[in-house]
Structure 1
Amino acid sequence: MKFGLFTSITGITWQQLCDLWRHIEDTGWDAACVTDHFMPNVPDPVTETLECWTALSGLALVTSRMRIGTLVSGNTYRHPAVLAKMATTVDIMAGGRLICGLGGAWQRNEHQAYGIPFYTVGERLNRLDEACQVLLHLWHESKSTFQGKYYQLDEAPLYPKSLQQPHPELLIGGGGEKKTLRIVAKYADHWNVWGGPDTLRHKGHILERHCGEVGRDAAQLTRSANMPMQITENTEEKEKLVVGLMRRFGRSETEARDTVLAGSVAEIQDKIGRLQGAGVDQLFIPSFLPPWSLDQLDQFITEVAPAFR
């Protein structure tokens, strides 16, 4: 199993972000990804927030080994042809290490603030489906023509091509069982979702059915989970993390308890073992819930992770 850090770019300076990523690369983490938001989802969102892809291009140059990417880039924020070009450039800058994470986008307040159409959930997912087609056309073909309902290309070139072949790793984030997982089955190299062993096992079976329906081998897909982590034997700290996840993302108590990775080293290893048994290849630790601590991250990578490598 591989282990990555999932970093917010809100409330962190550029220097702090560079220092954090250099540290986790030096200490043996396999990957690091950034969020894609223009401001936080809080009542008064005036907080310093870096921009995802420009930050990632800089991070490509301050790291050299671990894979880097987005968890996940909001499809509504950029035309997919523009994203295809950006992702290719970052992949080249990173020496072929990009994880191009993409999702339908969900944060209403930043759409309203910046005048970006929010659309219905159904339309956002339909746009995501077309966006994946646009990306793959541009990454694969010498010139691309595409006539979709939302996006069109007319003999569009994309050069240079990415260092990764046949294209940058395409990650789709989300757990919607009817549409999102079908999009994953059709186009993705990598599926990512918030959840623990129970969530990943249940949704993994649904993903496998979608893969069968579209003629895809589900074993081709990397599966990763996002799980907030805290190494502690303090019951109050564990409960605080569960409640924080419920409030921040509107999760049920059952979902939050499945998703939270909190306890002693042995308890955390037991839960990761069950996650691995559910078919998960990679675990991402969000550094923002609770706020990141180098001591916790170092303890995880030195005491927890070796049992799964």
Structure 2
Amino acid sequence: MSYEGPRFGIWALVSGATGSLFHPDDPPDATWERNRRLVLEAEALGYDSTLVAQHLFHVRDERLDQLETWTACAGLAAITSRIEIIAAIKPYLFHPVVLAKMATQIEEISQGRFAINLVNAWYKPEFERAGIPFTDHDDRYAYGREWIDIVRPLMEGRKVNTKGQHFEVSDYQLHPTGRYRPRPLIYAGGESSQARDLAAGVADTWFINGQPPEDVAALIADISRRPRVDAPLRFGLAAFVIARRTDEEAQDELQRAFELAEQDRPYRRQSLDNTDNKAVMFKTFARMPHVGTNGGTAAGLVGSYERVAERIRRFHSLGIDLFMLQFQPFEAEMRRFAHEVMPRVRERSAAA
């Protein structure tokens, strides 16, 4: 019987930590060497995917290192053999023709395991200080739609001729393409109405920020009503996991995580002060105390091994296919999840 249960991925440590910068057992380390070891171990442990987020410098503390996304993904593509590699992309940072060529090359290196995650920028300084216009939220989504409408056919090997508001491309075609599958997959994030329209129109999978099942169900119902011509949209969920032998142990660790997070408060404030105030995800986060990025523990993957497994099964029943996970300390908790929670989920899914 083939396995049709949920898939699991990890966030690459592009900023060195997904939780507190002050965890004594998980100091921020965004080096290539750490990320290389991390993704290779994740692959060996049975994780299905890794997401490499994109920032040009550290959004909480600019003195800290920040891993570059696309060069790192090319390196990961060359040294892994099974795990999916998803590179986040902010359209204003790359011309669509250049990005499409980079994507098809990494798809070739990985032998058909590469994907892009289309995201709208929210951190203003990395654009403004470089002299790149940081336009209004809705204008950025209009730009992103024109941008992906060039990238997608190029990744499919089609010839592109187009003249729009932002780009004019004449007789452009890329080789090689399609050697392993029709094109790299497209993920999309964001929860505004414009983001949902974009995901429904062009993405293969929509990433949802960590939040309770009832909120996730409402989001899936809303986007499923929007116009779409491709195969049904799939769904991913971001979550920060704290799994222990008992619920009490997990809650104690969650409380410790909140206490550590207090030390990060000035750094989070600096980041929020430079955030687009129209970014819907930050309004969502403000409603739900949490640890981690992109909703983190608000998804509720906190508790005993069986409770976390059951919560995952509930999300999966709502339509979540891929769980993109964060931990702290990352490597140790990634192993714990692989050894204690993944088997519980997969055994039940296979039996069902």
- TM-score, normalised via structure 2 length: 0.79
User: Which residue in the other structure is 2:310 paired with?
Assistant: 270
CA distance in 1, matches of 2:301, 2:73: 27
SS class of match (1:227): strand
SS class of match (1:8): coil
Q: CA offset at residue 239 of structure 1?
A: 4.0
CA distance in 1, matches of 2:191, 2:86: 19
Kindly provide the CA deviation profile for residues 105-157 of structure 1, in whole angstroms up to 9, marking residues without a partner as x: 21112112322221111111111111221112212354211112122211112
User: Which residue in the other structure is 1:231 paired with?
Assistant: 243
Equivalent position to 1:62, from 72, 79, 92: 79
Q: Tell me if structure 2 keeps the 8 A contact 1:230–1:263.
A: yes
Return the letter of the residue paired with 1:282.
Answer: L
CA distance in 2, matches of 1:241, 1:226: 18
Equivalent position to 2:301, from 246, 249, 261: 261
SS class of match (1:26): helix
Q: Which has the higher contact order (CA 8 A, sep 6+)?
A: 2
Counting aligned pairs with the same residue, the percent is 26
Q: Tell me if structure 1 keeps the 8 A contact 2:157–2:175.
A: no
CA distance in 2, matches of 1:282, 1:107: 26
**What is the aligned-residue RMSD (CA, Å)?**
2.3
1:93 counterpart = 2:109: yes
Q: CA offset at residue 204 of structure 1?
A: 0.3
User: Which residue in the other structure is 1:205 paired with?
Assistant: 221
Q: 1:299 to 1:84 in 2, by over 3 A?
A: same
- Tell me, which stretches of 5 or more residues in structure 2 are unaligned? 1-5, 16-28, 269-281, 291-296, 347-352
User: Which residue in the other structure is 1:304 paired with?
Assistant: 341
- Of residues 31-40 and 196-205 in structure 1, the stretch that sits farther from structure 2 once superposed is 196-205
Q: Tell me if structure 2 keeps the 8 A contact 1:4–1:30.
A: yes
1:21 counterpart = 2:39: yes
CA distance in 1, matches of 2:300, 2:257: 7
1:285 counterpart = 2:285: no
SS class of match (2:115): strand
Q: Tell me if structure 2 keeps the 8 A contact 1:89–1:162.
A: no
User: Which residue in the other structure is 1:3 paired with?
Assistant: 8
User: Which residue in the other structure is 1:170 paired with?
Assistant: 186
Instruction: Report matched runs for 1:115-154 at 5 Å.
Output: 115-154=131-170
CA distance in 1, matches of 2:214, 2:289: 9
Q: CA offset at residue 8 of structure 1?
A: 2.7
Q: CA offset at residue 303 of structure 1?
A: 1.3
User: Which residue in the other structure is 1:111 paired with?
Assistant: 127
CA distance in 2, matches of 1:63, 1:238: 33
Equivalent position to 2:68, from 45, 51, 54: 51
Kindly provide the CA deviation profile for residues 4-61 of structure 1, in whole angstroms up to 9, marking residues without a partner as x: 001131232111111111111111111112111111112x412122210001100111
Q: Tell me if structure 1 keeps the 8 A contact 2:11–2:325.
A: yes
- Tell me, which stretches of 5 or more residues in structure 1 are unaligned? none
User: Which residue in the other structure is 1:186 paired with?
Assistant: 201
Return the letter of the residue paired with 1:37.
Answer: H
